[in-house]
Amino acid sequence: GDSVTQMEGPVTLSEEAFLTINCTYTATGYPSLFWYVQYPGEGLQLLLKATKADDKGSNKGFEATYRKETTSFHLEKGSVQVSDSAVYFCALSQNTGFQKLVFGTGTRLLVSP
Amino acid sequence: EPEVTQTPSHQVTQMGQEVILRCVPISNHLYFYWYRQILGQKVEFLVSFYNNEISEKSEIFDDQFSVERPDGSNFTLKIRSTKLEDSAMYFCASSVDPRSSYEQYFGPGTRLTVT
């Protein structure tokens, strides 16, 4: 079945450092890909998404490009802030039915001043 | 901004007891979901619900689990006889219409601890 693999955390960075969180997937067809973020004490929030190959999702300075050839959707940000400290989840859904999400394990990001 | 709420935030129960986890989805949403995350593992889909019936369920969602929308606002997950392995964070989500690529909005989760 479909699956998502993302790098283990925690990822610890200093403020203004460059961020990459790797995500690869296994799926049939052409799923949609997502990054969700969970801040402490809050629910999962959609950060960005891409629905077809070579699409780039972006939001709040974060970007990820849907790479069909490498089955990847790596999350990047050029300059992280302390407020970006959270858990980041990569996920996919097939574009059929009610589009259940298939998640990775989540990667905790800790940004220090 | 509208949000999905879940109660309680933490539930401790003894093995074999019944628990009901409650969720209030966003008011104009029609599609509802439960997911769970066992500590250190992936967030897993449990069930989706639309028009007062289950639309899809995973292998995890066996006869011990049930869902209900009892009053048009709440959406509940019941575990009939809890096991130690049911200890997890349970997330509720809702969507206007996923088939039109509307995103799923998640609640903050209920941490269930079975002792």
Prior bond of A113 cis (ω within 30°): no
Closest CA of chain B from A31, distance in Å: 12
Phi/psi zone of residue A84: left (φ > 0), alpha (ψ -120 to 50 degrees), beta? Answer: alpha
Q: Which of B42, B60, B94 to mutate to test the interface with A (most CBs of A within 10 A)?
A: B42
In this predicted model, what pLDDT tens digit does every residue of A43-97 receive, in sequence order?
A: 889 999 999 999 999 999 999 999 999 999 999 999 999 999 999 999 999 877 7
Of B31, B44, B107, the CB nearest to A98: B31
Among candidate residues B35, B36, B22, B32, the one with its CA nearest the CA of residue B52: B32
pLDDT of residue A33: 94
Q: Which residues pair with B68 in a beta bridge?
A: B76
Structure tokens given for A57: 């999702």
